Amino acid sequence: MKKSLLELIRSLPDNRRGAGQRHQLEFGVLIIIMSMMSGYISLRAMGDFAERNKDALIIALKPKKPRIPSFSTLRRLLLQINFSELKDIFYQWSLQYVDPTGEEHYSIDGKSIRSTVTDGKNEKQNFISMVSVFSQKRKQVLTQQKYQNKKNSEIGVVQGLLEELDLQGITLTMDALHCQKKQ
């Protein structure tokens, strides 16, 4: 039986102090996800998304208290969420809708902010980068993994994702960076 994203998000541990919990964790996380999927990427934009869609969000998500979190509340939620746990929940949810078969094509690519800073190749620079596995047929991200360039490389992250996903008999597209010979 398929589980909704809301049901899976409810399993995320809530590390907030009890006194500071005006909004349910899953309510805030869903607003963040929906705003990002709608193109509202910055924190202020997420707050705007929540405010513009306040009535619809309250009706659809039925929070305990009929109010919407502010952008600063959404920011605090983002800072406290364990990305790996949220990624695993998202992957578990997306696998219900994406069946990796030989008929599908998947793209794997990494992105970093390296080009937005000066002297990006300096060993003292440390960037957060993201590798995503994208289903071209369904237009969905299957899974993703973040890494720091000082601790890992895109090659190692992609190899780890391929092992984790255990994809067999499918077509993958990747950067030429991944055309490496094992020695």
Per-residue pLDDT tens digits for 24-82: 788 888 888 889 888 888 888 999 999 999 999 989 888 888 888 888 888 888 888 88
Whose CA is closest to 143, among 161, 168, 155, 121? 161
SS3 label, residue 55: helix
- pLDDT tens for 165-177 read 777 777 888 888 7
Q: How confident is the model at residue 90 (pLDDT cuts 50, 70, 90)?
A: confident
pLDDT value, residue 121: 65
Pair of tokens at residue 69: 């979190």
- Regarding pTM above 0.85, the answer is no
| Angstrom distance (rounded) from CA 131 to CA 144 | 5
Supply the pLDDT for residue 98. 66
Burial string for 14-50 (b: 16+ CB within 10 Å, else e) reads: eeeeeeeeebbbbbbbbbbebbeeeebeebeebbebb
CB 100 within 8 A of CB 165: yes
Q: Shortest CA distance to 182 belongs to which of 161, 157, 155? A: 155
Label residue 88 by pLDDT band (50, 70, 90). confident
Over residues 124-137, the pLDDT tens digits come to: 777 778 888 888 87
In which band, very low, low, confident or very high, does the pLDDT at 123 lie, cut at 50, 70 and 90? low
Q: Quote the tokens at residue 1.
A: 């039986």
* Residue 24 near residue 49 (C-beta atoms within 8 A): no
Mean pLDDT value across residues 152-173? 80
